[in-house]
Amino acid sequence: MDHRTEPLYQKDGQLYKHNSTISSVQPLSSLPQETQALFKAPEGEPYILTSTSTIFHAQGGGQPSDTGTITSTSSSAGPTFHVHQVRKVDPAILHVGTFEPAGAKFEGKEEVIQAIDVDKRVLHSRIHTAGHVIGLAINLLVKEGALPSDIVDGKASHYPGAAFVEFQGLIAGDKKADIQARVDELVAGDLDVKIHFWTEERARSDCTGVLESFKGDEDGVRVVEIGNVGSYPCGGTHVLKLKECGKVVIRGVKRQKGVSKVSYEVQDA
């Protein structure tokens, strides 16, 4: 699996169906232990499929995998590969899943149709974008002096039912209403969400929050910019306009060991 998979979801987060060519299909059990350990094996006979390009978001950066199906373009009677989980193992993107009917599989490097579960992708993109909005709201409050000046963006998780953004520094619990008001303002402004590829130098100097772990590839560092309010290096998928997030609800603010954790969810507006 040394063939590169082009991550199409990084260029177009609204591409839900796509034709690609199989690079490899092999049983999950044939891979090295450390690769197998990346996956929660689905029931049945799990296979790893790679292709020249993919629209399936690979789990990472706090965003879960996409799920969906991969089917043959040549025969409607061909097998369906159900994608359960997707991980990046450079330079390839690995789709783990099972074939239906069991025992069938793709033969050779055929052309296939990828289709992701759209409702799930849209929800992930809403939650993910909302995390950035909360980061920007908090950065605005810091600039205005409403929050301490030593607050720095930290890690985030955008899993449905367990979404949060963390910050180094202390955010008092009574600031929740201020954060909510700022978030509401930004969403109501329906700002554009744009993707750029910047040099590492520019990403470090111009982004609102930068985690030490980011790295670019041949396209540069992928950055998401929201209106002209701010930007973050990011590999995930987003909505195109902030109102698509729906209502972003701050659930709580907790502090532990110098880190503040802001939990949140998105609701239909």
Query: Of all residues in this chain, which one has the CB nearest to Zn ion in the complex?
Result: 234
Q: Is 169 in the site for Zn ion (CB under 5 A)?
A: no
Q: Which is nearer to Zn ion, 38 or 211 (CB)?
A: 211
88-96, 168-176, 204-212, 231-239 -> range binding Zn ion (CB under 5 A): 231-239
For the CB of residue 181, give the shortest distance to Zn ion in the complex, in Å: 23
Q: Say how far apart CA 266 and CA 124 lie, in whole Å.
A: 10
Q: Is 136 in the site for Zn ion (CB under 5 A)?
A: no
For the CB of residue 132, give the shortest distance to Zn ion in the complex, in Å: 6
Q: Is 226 in the site for Zn ion (CB under 5 A)?
A: no
Q: Is 156 in the site for Zn ion (CB under 5 A)?
A: no
Among 68, 97, 209, 236, binds Zn ion (CB under 5 A): 236
Q: What is the dihedral of CA 245, 38, 216, 164, to 10 degrees?
A: 30
Provide the token pair at 177. 């209403």
Q: Is 242 in the site for Zn ion (CB under 5 A)?
A: no
5-13, 140-148, 210-218, 222-230 -> range binding Zn ion (CB under 5 A): 222-230
CA distances from 197 to 54, 216, 233, 240, 242 (A): 19, 9, 9, 16, 20
Q: Is 210 in the site for Zn ion (CB under 5 A)?
A: no
Q: Which is nearer to Zn ion, 49 or 223 (CB)?
A: 223
Q: Is 116 in the site for Zn ion (CB under 5 A)?
A: no
Q: Which is nearer to Zn ion, 130 or 179 (CB)?
A: 130
Q: Say how far apart CA 197 and CA 219 lie, in whole Å.
A: 6
Q: Which is nearer to Zn ion, 31 or 234 (CB)?
A: 234
Provide the token pair at 78. 């061909």
Q: What is the dihedral of CA 201, 202, 203, 208, to 10 degrees?
A: 130
Q: Around Cβ 18, how many Cβ atoms within 10 Å?
A: 18
CA distances from 244 to 12, 66, 210, 268 (A): 16, 19, 25, 9
Q: Which is nearer to Zn ion, 183 or 224 (CB)?
A: 224
Question: What residues pair up with 19 in beta bridges, in sequence order?
Answer: 113
Among 134, 234, 245, 262, binds Zn ion (CB under 5 A): 234
Greatest Cα pair distance, the chain, in angstroms, is 63
Q: Which is nearer to Zn ion, 41 or 195 (CB)?
A: 195
Q: Is 224 in the site for Zn ion (CB under 5 A)?
A: yes
For the CB of residue 5, give the shortest distance to Zn ion in the complex, in Å: 20
Q: Say how far apart CA 242 and CA 191 lie, in whole Å.
A: 5
Q: Is 13 in the site for Zn ion (CB under 5 A)?
A: no
Cα atoms in the 13 Å half-sphere on the side-chain side of 132:
34
For the CB of residue 57, give the shortest distance to Zn ion in the complex, in Å: 11
Binding site for Zn ion (CB under 5 A): 224, 234, 236
